[in-house]
Amino acid sequence: MKCRTRRRLLRIPAAVRYIDNVVSLGTFRNWIWEGRIPVVRIGRNVCVRTDVLDELIEGRASISRKSAA
């Protein structure tokens, strides 16, 4: 039997509120544009998974620029 974890998707403003407005909306959008935060695109909507945000809050993931390989 497979264990399924429920993943929620949040649009950008809700994602910033989810992390208690630690960074501004503009900074969060810049990080997405730079590829620092993985997103899911659904049509024109840009969403972030809550498990990604939880990892950022807990310090298991870092916000560093992707290296050009």
At 5-22, the pLDDT tens digits run 567 999 999 999 999 988
pLDDT for the residue 59? 81
β-partners of residue 11 are: 47
pLDDT for the residue 66? 61
Cα 50 from Cα 40, distance rounded (Å): 11
The per-residue DSSP string of 5-20 comes to ----EEEHHHHHHHTT
Does an H or E element contain 41, and which?
strand 40-42
pTM confidence score: 0.76
In Å, what is the CA distance from 19 to each residue of 3, 55, 56?
26, 11, 9
At 18-69, the pLDDT tens digits run 999 889 999 999 999 999 999 999 999 999 999 999 998 888 666 766 655 4
